Chains A and B, each alone.
Chain A
């Protein structure tokens, strides 16, 4: 709870700095503030407590994921320093929106009441709509913002409808009460329908097939930094929230629901990967790669009793690799019109360090040892086989092989093609973010127990 209040306070502080003409201090102060919030969050880790009539319930699960969100936000805010240097007058807005977005994210994983859950999701989504359209003079960015807004509000509507049905069935918004009632033998028919509608809405936010159509266009059109945010932070928040919703509200997950999860998971991986093979725009490619990763993450919903640690590990590995990859993309595509693969030609010669970082990030996403992505997949597969879904694991393995195809397209472009332009300038912030993110990723790969055991009961 203190974490949430502190984050909102930090967002307000950002706006105040604008008034007092302290724009230069905004980014460093926000980063320091977020680090302090991270400490606060860590202090709450071992002190589970419920606030305001169970509106917010702080648990190990919520503190661990909040910690991940805060770390990701720190990276994204740090990257903003360079990204918004041409728009100094608006930097406070951009940073404050990101901090408020974080507040929504934290509310989403620590809700104890469906009203709070919906509040969180709206705070997060509206911030995202604004950020997607934040490149005001770019047609593509406007298109992305509008598309995302239309589709997103539709999904929010479905979620709200689902919540209403759940309320109709159970007579309460409180998830603990709902959970207790769901144990009873006779469930009203509205309850599973409500759960299904909420799940569909969340699948939309995660961009799982067949609710994924917005993702490639929005990812491509939105400014690169917003794409980074959507493909790392927003996706991780949505899957963590869905996991919490499913595990907290239902005592038992029905077999039919599991079948649906298996099908959506298989479809997401396969469609995402096959579409990614054909892309030339790197942002679009990562959008499809994100869809396929969503398919992997959904697999955790099949073993709800003990998959929280696995999900935390998978999302951390994926998001850290994503941050590292996007910081390189921000550097390479700073002055280019698009983010095509051709821009990456010869990066291995012109900037070996960043090329190595992008290679490492892509290898992690492909699931090659010693990067964290490998253990993420390994643990996920272990758990899914334990739950008895070996066919799903085999599809996932085949998809891992397909994914190598497009990740390596980028690696090949960096190392085998001749450079087509010289890039000058070494933005320290981008280097720092990329190096720290990839080092964290490799550290997670070397010592997976650090994260995997965090949520073990």
Chain B
């Protein structure tokens, strides 16, 4: 039994969903999503027992490319995040009617397939293929099933596609260059390379372009808010919940260990860029009038902090970053689902048109409140664990980084609570607002339960990721 099984389940699921037809598509997709989750939990068990669940097979002879999937703690954590969020995301869309549902759900599973592949791939070219492959489904999901004016949506989505493709093509050139040096795309061979400082700098920058656009780190973030707003809720959740974690994961897995000298030399610049994202995102979020855009900028602020954590090159920074990646994945999916629930009832994303919802729907109001508090890292939630580990690691580098990075919590609390006040409180809204349905409530409760569980007991995840992060730190410090 090895990790390729998850990929097979998701790919077969995508085809099965398409064949099942419009009526059954959502249920078939949910079934395969849960099957993939079950499979990854079983695999995790095998992994924890010390079994080898990696997969390696020759693929292309010339150039030398292998189909190599490697599962260590870090990969498994990310795979579990994807496998857990995919069924939740599919489940949240049960309340919305989608035209051509079979294609819609098939694309979600296909995207999940590509993202799991990205997290598992241990061969540079294979990784690159999965990385690019994940772009195509999200492009069509946002383009065809998105909201708002078609022309504007087209512009936003095409900009997103060309931006990300442009970034990743330079990463491809970097990989080809590395291949010339190492004679193989396999990650362990690339780790062994001893490149000169100049070579490392160029490779580091080529990788950075790809990841900074995907994460996004300012100044490469301009595609983000528009695409988040225009994409359907499911697309936004996939993008913010999982896809941007691909960028952060890749920084830890590929960029830092392959070009450690450049990473050490210019560490402060990249941490500063991340922190600049925190402050910029928070301030812009303050001024947003659209709920989804506000959440998009708040997401920009949070991932800026995570990116800063990864570039500290300390075990605490990496561990905090990974914890926060997982926590942010859940909370952001929850928040975008909340905005979708409001959109279903009011058909608007403008904050000014909401207000006074709390009295009509107490259950919804309390769940929304918990998510808001989790997103501003309230102690006992998972986000607290991640965010404070990252801030601690920043303070070890330079206390000012920690102070400036800490503004995410202060500013975050300000704009999130202000938003909550405008959306939920005030005089009772004249338009009726039905409280959450069973399906909606179930999804939200699930997310909240996970956030609290791991907030109080993060040990299983830290135990899972720490050994592999220590290995990566060892590789970074090899020279």
Question: Which of A174-182, A326-334, A449-457 forms part of the interface with chain B?
Answer: A449-457
B284: CB under 8 A from chain A? no
A400: CB under 8 A from chain B? yes
Query: Across the interface, do A386 and B180 meet the contact criterion of CB distance under 8 Å?
Result: yes
Most buried by A among B62, B129, B143, B165: B62
Nearest residue (CB) in A for B162 is A404
Query: Across the interface, do B180 and A369 meet the contact criterion of CB distance under 8 Å?
Result: no
B61: CB under 8 A from chain A? yes
Query: Across the interface, do A393 and B173 meet the contact criterion of CB distance under 8 Å?
Result: yes
Query: Across the interface, do B176 and A378 meet the contact criterion of CB distance under 8 Å?
Result: yes
Q: How many inter-chain contacts with C-beta < 8 Å in the A-B complex? A: 75
B170: CB under 8 A from chain A? yes
Q: Which chain A residues in 368-420 approach chain B with CB under 8 Å? A: 368-370, 374-375, 378-379, 381-382, 385-386, 390, 393-394, 397, 400-401, 404-405, 408, 412, 415-416
Chain A 360-373 interface mask (CB, 8 Å, partner B; 1/0): 00010000111000
Query: Across the interface, do A382 and B161 meet the contact criterion of CB distance under 8 Å?
Result: no
Question: Which of B132-140, B264-272, B307-315 forms part of the interface with chain A?
Answer: B132-140
Query: Across the interface, do B173 and A449 meet the contact criterion of CB distance under 8 Å?
Result: no
A448: CB under 8 A from chain B? yes
Tell me the complex Cα distance, A135–B59, Å. 47
B179: CB under 8 A from chain A? yes
A213 to chain B, nearest CB (A): 29
B191: CB under 8 A from chain A? no
- B-side contacts of A456, CB under 8 Å: 62
- A-side contacts of B169, CB under 8 Å: 397, 400-401
Tell me the complex Cα distance, A393–B136, Å. 24
Tell me the complex Cα distance, A386–B64, Å. 14
B177: CB under 8 A from chain A? yes
Query: Across the interface, do B62 and A452 meet the contact criterion of CB distance under 8 Å?
Result: yes
Tell me the complex Cα distance, A390–B206, Å. 14
Known: A378-B176, A404-B161, A452-B62. A369 touches B129 (CB 8 A): yes
Query: Across the interface, do B62 and A449 meet the contact criterion of CB distance under 8 Å?
Result: yes
Query: Across the interface, do B165 and A404 meet the contact criterion of CB distance under 8 Å?
Result: yes
Q: Which chain B residues in 106-160 approach chain A with CB under 8 Å? A: 125, 128-129, 132-133, 135-136, 140, 143-144, 150, 154, 158
Tell me the complex Cα distance, A386–B133, Å. 26
Query: Across the interface, do A415 and B158 meet the contact criterion of CB distance under 8 Å?
Result: no
- A-side contacts of B166, CB under 8 Å: 401
Query: Across the interface, do B133 and A449 meet the contact criterion of CB distance under 8 Å?
Result: no
Known: A405-B162, A449-B61, A452-B62. A369 touches B154 (CB 8 A): no
Tell me the complex Cα distance, A378–B135, Å. 18
B467: CB under 8 A from chain A? no
Query: Across the interface, do B133 and A370 meet the contact criterion of CB distance under 8 Å?
Result: yes
- B-side contacts of A397, CB under 8 Å: 169-170, 172-173
Most buried by A among B162, B170, B172: B172
- B-side contacts of A370, CB under 8 Å: 129, 133
- A-side contacts of B158, CB under 8 Å: 408, 412
Tell me the complex Cα distance, A400–B140, Å. 20
Set A369, A386, A390, A453: member contacting B132, Cβ < 8 A: A369
Tell me the complex Cα distance, A455–B394, Å. 55
Nearest residue (CB) in B for A377 is B172
Query: Across the interface, do A381 and B143 meet the contact criterion of CB distance under 8 Å?
Result: no
- A-side contacts of B61, CB under 8 Å: 449, 452-453
- B-side contacts of A449, CB under 8 Å: 59-62
A5 to chain B, nearest CB (A): 34
B63: CB under 8 A from chain A? yes
- A-side contacts of B165, CB under 8 Å: 368, 401, 404
Tell me the complex Cα distance, A139–B169, Å. 44
Nearest residue (CB) in B for A409 is B158
Set A378, A386, A416: member contacting B125, Cβ < 8 A: A378
B130 to chain A, nearest CB (A): 8
B231 to chain A, nearest CB (A): 14
Query: Across the interface, do A382 and B176 meet the contact criterion of CB distance under 8 Å?
Result: yes
Query: Across the interface, do A415 and B140 meet the contact criterion of CB distance under 8 Å?
Result: yes
Query: Across the interface, do B172 and A378 meet the contact criterion of CB distance under 8 Å?
Result: yes
Chain B residues proximal to chain A, CB less than 8 Å: 59-63, 125, 128-129, 132-133, 135-136, 140, 143-144, 150, 154, 158, 161-162, 165-166, 169-170, 172-173, 176-177, 179-180
Chain A residues proximal to chain B, CB less than 8 Å: 309, 348, 363, 368-370, 374-375, 378-379, 381-382, 385-386, 390, 393-394, 397, 400-401, 404-405, 408, 412, 415-416, 448-449, 452-453, 456
Sample (21) of A-B pairs whose CB atoms are under 8 Å apart: A363-B136, A369-B133, A370-B133, A374-B132, A381-B176, A382-B180, A394-B173, A397-B170, A400-B169, A404-B161, A404-B165, A405-B162, A408-B161, A408-B162, A412-B154, A415-B143, A415-B144, A416-B154, A449-B62, A453-B61, A453-B62
